[in-house]
Amino acid sequence: MGQSFSFTTQTWHKLKKNKGAIFGLLIIASAILMSVFGYLIAPDTTPNADLQTVELQAKNPGFKQLFLKIPDKKNGKSGWFTKLMYGRAEDYRYLPISKYQVKGDSLIVNKYVDEDTSVVQIYSINALTRHKETTLLQQNIVTKNYYLGTDKFGRDILSRLIIGTKVSLAVGLIAVFISITLGVVLGAVAGYYRGWIDEVIMWLVNVTWSIPTLLLVFAITMALGKGFWQIFIAVGLTMWVSVARLIRGQVMAVKEMEYIQAARALGLSDGRIIIKHILPNIMGPVLVIAASNFATAIIIEAGLSFLGIGVQAPQPSWGLMIKENYNFIITHNAILALIPGFAIMLLVLAFNLLGNGLRDAADVRGES
């Protein structure tokens, strides 16, 4: 049988043998699926998973609550794609109750206020549903499970954790795209042409690098404003310098090799030599630093959201979730703040493991 010499095939074959990289890849794949189909799998499918029940604030994981669903006609219908991307407002208001009973055409409920307090309220069954009494009990009285508990606004933490995955991955993806694009272009030009071009680019790199990352992010964020899209640009524009320095050094080493000299002798253009012959041979380090920058972007976004200048409420963000619940660390519900922190740690670890695996798999010099 013939042996495939495809670089991609050989890289994947070696990557599969690295258990740490495969573990990281599975975590990242799960996160991607959650970010795409989050509104279809989250218990709370309202926009930004922002269904608040103030009576149920700061409940422990595994908490269950009985609800009366009251029709809310003001919410319009939305299509499947709209729900997939942005969620859909509920057609009901959810009233927490501790118990209920039916008397004739009336439903008597004890509205839940706290563990020791309830308020009696009476509703007309006809106003709740046009169906029979058995249908009322099946459709309008439901039990919700809060598998990871609730935050200080009574929102489902599991739902916000799932929807918040989209923010972390989106920030990482776009920030890495910006940083890799700028870093590869400037680093390749500086390393290939040297001279005054190299001096100008390296001066820009050194000036940018001399500014602390968070301070530079603060300045860019304040200039562009607080928000979801601004954080992409702010994070991306602070991470390109490490890419540029790495690419510059790699290009300087590779361009002196014999096959590059042969390409020059054949009259190939500089652009073709850089794109077709140099960059493919330094993809290993690029993949590693891309994975590292992805992890860094997730941490920076979480830190900015925690400080209040990143993603703004009510949009879910893991850093914002920590900010909203960190005061519970010194009280009775520390797990509410630790859950999003653990999610950040797990996703960052996954990208670092995958980056290390890609570094080893893409290293053609390691072939025997």
Mean pLDDT computed over 164-179: 89
Please report the pLDDT score of residue 126 as a whole number.
79
Please report the pLDDT score of residue 71 as a whole number.
83
Number of Cβ atoms within 10 Å of the Cβ of 367: 7
- Strand, coil or helix: 325: helix
Mean pLDDT computed over 312-321: 87
Confidence of residue 136 (pLDDT cuts 50, 70, 90): low
Candidates 352, 358, 48, 299; CA nearest to 172 is: 299
Cα angle 171-173-177, degrees, rounded to a multiple of 5: 115
348-358 residue pLDDT tens = 999 999 988 88
- Chain centre to alpha carbon of residue 191: 34
DSSP strand pairing (63-71 vs 141-146): antiparallel
8 A C-beta contact, residue 160 and residue 49: yes
List CB contacts of 64: < 8 A, sequence separation 6 or more. 143, 144, 145, 146
98-127 residue pLDDT tens = 888 888 788 889 999 888 888 898 888 877
